[in-house]
């Protein structure tokens, strides 16, 4: 659970900021997708934009979490199986 | 707390000049806040508003600790609403524990069902209100009953409602512990004169259980009977007797619980109380605490806040109600027309930011015998941008070859003060 929070929650906050900055400067009506003007309704563009930002940020957090794992946690050996619980504290 | 919620649930229903008073119209890219209309160009005001909010938060935290959490934070507020519902339906803390222990029966099922239904109703209403700030809520309300809500409106309605339910119903203080950034940095705004929930160790220690019959002071015991109730009632599960910790959300549950215990054993109240570090150490009364509110940190925060707020209000009051963008027509740079005159074509984006329709008069100047070939009257409806194509002609003898600066003047016929003097370049071939 904590891991999910770490991945998705900061991503949500940053995605919110990114969404505001991006769409303040860019009108969704002026966006092009693969050379074609975007035909979605503005509300859909904003929503997809936000979800997109969110997922990108979450992916970044996922990598951060993965990299914060110590070598021991990544290569969890059988005789250290009991340490599995400690990974909670170090994220990932 | 009820005030913030009345504001949140009520404001979106308030009409203003035939529209919703507070509406963030994403589709039209216009934000309406009472008489003000904000365009994407006004993002500066948003930034300033955020700075003001941040300084206000610093100030309140420095004076009174985590005031924000208890009174304004949506997380705490919804949690409290949900807990209030829980208490009304399932009874007090002890009744709920008993209910938890029971195996599933008709009474438990109906109570639980009722509770979850009530939570869901509040959560859905919250979600609906949220969407109502972005899509006119009257329309939304009608659409809801005709089952014709747009797909994204439905999505955000359920998304926001669902998360309200999850956060306030199940996550509760976990959010404060693991998700709240404010909880992590609020400590830097604290100083020894900040009001916080504090345990009085001088009075309480050494803690310990004791018989009522003996004189505990003679045995060297403090006032704390070590009943552990302060830890039990703490929503974040900390022991306030270990000193202030970042998990403490300042809910004062331990203060009330401890006071009850103190009453029961016949000791003075306030073993755990709302006070400052200095006051605790130096045995100050409320008078001294209040006197120490005025200190450099507070004065600095207040003055910065005051300056920015004044600038913000001044900026809003003098916000231009007319904006004009001049764009040169790229297709035709300059051309010669009848009588040998040179013509340049411009596109004028006239933005009427005011709330009423406007009529503007256009004129041009900057070169000798410059002529405007378009209708000089421009009508722009309220809060709209309209584009006008304008031809400007100049006799060839008026200027040398090259680019020259000319000006467009746009003046309102209704209010003389509303005028824009905009620069443009005229190309002479």
Residue B390 sits in a domain whose CATH number is 2.60.40.10
Mean pLDDT, rounded, for A73-83: 60
Mean pLDDT of all residues belonging to chain B? 86
| pLDDT exceeds 80 at position A68 | yes
Structural domain includes residue A10: yes
Q: Above pLDDT 90, what percent of chain B?
A: 13
ipTM of the complex: 0.77
C-alpha B272/C-alpha B219 separation (Å) is 22
Mean pLDDT, rounded, for B159-186: 86
Query: Domain residues for A60?
Result: 2-69
CA nearest to B24 within chain A: A43
C-alpha B120/C-alpha B12 separation (Å) is 21
| pLDDT exceeds 60 at position B406 | yes
Which chain B residues contact residue A6 at CB under 8 A?
178
Same domain, B10 and B142: yes
| pLDDT exceeds 50 at position A92 | no
Q: What is the pLDDT of residue A47?
A: 92
Cβ burial, residue B159 (10 Å; 0-12/13-18/19+): middle
Structure tokens at B329: 């027509």
Lowest mean pLDDT among A59-73, B155-169, B281-295: B281-295
Cβ burial, residue A11 (10 Å; 0-12/13-18/19+): buried
Structural domain includes residue B47: no
Q: What is the pLDDT of residue A41?
A: 84
Question: In angstroms, what separates the C-alpha of A52 from chain B's closest C-alpha?
Answer: 14
Structural domain includes residue B300: no
Structural domain includes residue B44: no
Structural domain includes residue A27: yes
C-alpha B34/C-alpha B93 separation (Å) is 44
Q: Do A24 and B156 touch (CB under 8 A)?
A: no
Domain count of chain A?
A: 1
Query: Domain residues for B217?
Result: 192-294
Q: Above pLDDT 70, what percent of chain B?
A: 100
Coil/strand/helix, residue B407: strand
Same domain, B70 and B167: yes
- Between B6 and A58, residue with greater pLDDT: A58
Q: What is the pLDDT of residue A6?
A: 84
Among B46, B135, B152, select the one facing A47 at the smallest CB separation.
B152
C-alpha B416/C-alpha B418 separation (Å) is 5
Structural domain includes residue A62: yes
Structural domain includes residue B311: no
Structural domain includes residue B263: yes
Domain count of chain B?
A: 3
Same domain, B149 and B216: no
Mean pLDDT of all residues belonging to chain A? 80
| Residue B305 near residue B52, CB atoms below 8 Å | yes
| pLDDT exceeds 60 at position A87 | no
Report the range out of A10-14, A21-25, B89-93, B261-265 with the highest average pLDDT: A10-14
Structural domain includes residue A12: yes
Structural domain includes residue A92: no
Q: What is the pLDDT of residue B187?
A: 77
What pLDDT, in 10s, does the model give residues B218-230? 778 888 888 888 8
Same domain, B111 and B207: no
What contacts 24+ positions apart, CB below 8 Å, involve B345-348?
A: B345/B389, B345/B390, B345/B391, B345/B392, B346/B389, B346/B390, B346/B391, B346/B392, B346/B408, B346/B424, B347/B387, B347/B388, B347/B389, B347/B390, B348/B324, B348/B378, B348/B387, B348/B388, B348/B389, B348/B390, B348/B408, B348/B410
Mean pLDDT, rounded, for B131-152: 89
Same domain, B353 and B281: no
Structural domain includes residue B58: no
Instruction: Give me the residue label for tokens 């073993």.
Output: B271
C-alpha B310/C-alpha B166 separation (Å) is 40
Which chain B residues contact residue A5 at CB under 8 A?
178-179
Mean pLDDT, rounded, for B390-416: 87
Structural domain includes residue B314: no
Interface membership of A46 toward B (CB under 8 Å)? yes
Same domain, B181 and B203: no
Same domain, B127 and B29: yes
Q: What is the pLDDT of residue A88?
A: 47
Q: What is the pLDDT of residue A85?
A: 46
| Residue B276 near residue B252, CB atoms below 8 Å | no
CB pairs under 8 A between A and B: 31
Closest CA to A10 of A47, A46, A64, A49: A64
The last residue of a domain, from among B186, B211, B236: B186
Q: What is the pLDDT of residue B161?
A: 93
Instruction: Tell me the C-alpha to C-alpha distance, in Å, between residue B368 and each of B291, B335, B365, B399.
Output: 71, 18, 8, 8
Mean pLDDT, rounded, for B10-20: 83
Sign of the CA dihedral running B58, B59, B65, B67:
negative
């Amino acid at each position: 659970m904590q891991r999910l929070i770490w991945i998705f929650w900061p991503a949500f906050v940053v995605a919110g900021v990114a969404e505001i900055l991006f769409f303040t400067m860019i009108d969704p009506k002026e966006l092009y997708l693969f050379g074609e003007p975007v035909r979605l309704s503005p509300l859909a563009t904003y929503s997809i934009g936000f979800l997109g930002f969110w997922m990108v940020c979450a992916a970044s957090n996922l990598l951060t979490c993965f990299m914060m794992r110590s070598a021991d946690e990544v290569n969890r050996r059988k005789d250290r199986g009991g340490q599995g619980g400690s990974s909670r504290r170090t994220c990932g | 707390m009820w005030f913030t919620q009345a504001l949140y649930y009520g404001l979106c229903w308030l009409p203003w000049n035939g529209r919703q008073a507070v509406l963030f119209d994403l589709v039209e890219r216009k934000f309406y806040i009472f008489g003000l209309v904000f365009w994407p160009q006004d993002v500066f005001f948003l930034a300033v508003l955020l700075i003001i909010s941040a300084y206000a938060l610093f100030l309140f935290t420095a004076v009174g600790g985590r005031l924000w959490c208890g009174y304004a934070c949506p997380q705490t507020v919804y949690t409290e609403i949900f807990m209030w519902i829980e208490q009304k339906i399932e009874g007090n803390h002890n009744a709920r524990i008993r209910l938890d222990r029971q195996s599933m029966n008709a009474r438990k099922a109906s109570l639980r069902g009722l509770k979850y239904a009530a939570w869901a109703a509040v959560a859905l209403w919250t979600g609906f209100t949220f969407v109502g700030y972005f899509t006119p809520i009257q329309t939304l309300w009608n659409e809801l009953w005709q089952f014709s809500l747009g797909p994204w409106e439905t999505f955000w309605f359920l998304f926001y409602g669902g998360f309200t339910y999850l956060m306030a119903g199940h996550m509760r203080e976990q959010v404060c512990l693991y998700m709240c950034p404010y909880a992590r940095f609020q400590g830097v705004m604290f100083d020894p004169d900040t009001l916080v929930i504090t345990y009085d160790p001088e009075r309480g220690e050494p803690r310990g259980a004791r018989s009522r019959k003996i004189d505990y002071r003679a045995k060297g015991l403090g006032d704390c009977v070590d009943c552990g109730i302060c830890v039990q009632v703490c929503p974040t599960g900390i022991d306030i007797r270990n000193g202030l910790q970042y998990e403490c959300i300042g809910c004062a549950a331990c203060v009330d619980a401890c006071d009850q215990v103190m009453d029961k054993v016949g000791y003075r109240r306030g073993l755990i109380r709302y006070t400052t570090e200095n006051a605790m150490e130096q045995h100050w009364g409320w008078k001294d605490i209040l006197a120490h509110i005025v200190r450099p940190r507070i004065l600095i925060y207040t003055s910065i806040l005051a300056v920015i707020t004044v600038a913000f209000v001044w900026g809003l009051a003098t916000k231009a109600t007319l904006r004009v963008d001049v764009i040169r027509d790229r297709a035709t740079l300059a051309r010669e027309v009848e009588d040998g005159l040179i013509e340049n074509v411009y596109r004028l984006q006239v933005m009427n930011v005011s709330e009423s329709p406007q009529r503007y008069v256009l004129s041009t100047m900057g070169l000798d015998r410059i002529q405007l070939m378009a209708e000089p009257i421009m009508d722009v409806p309220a809060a709209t941008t309209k584009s006008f194509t304008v031809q400007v002609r100049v006799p060839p003898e008026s200027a040398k070859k090259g680019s020259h600066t000319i000006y467009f003047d746009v003046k309102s016929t209704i209010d003389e003060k509303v005028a824009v003097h905009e620069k443009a370049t005229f190309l002479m071939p």
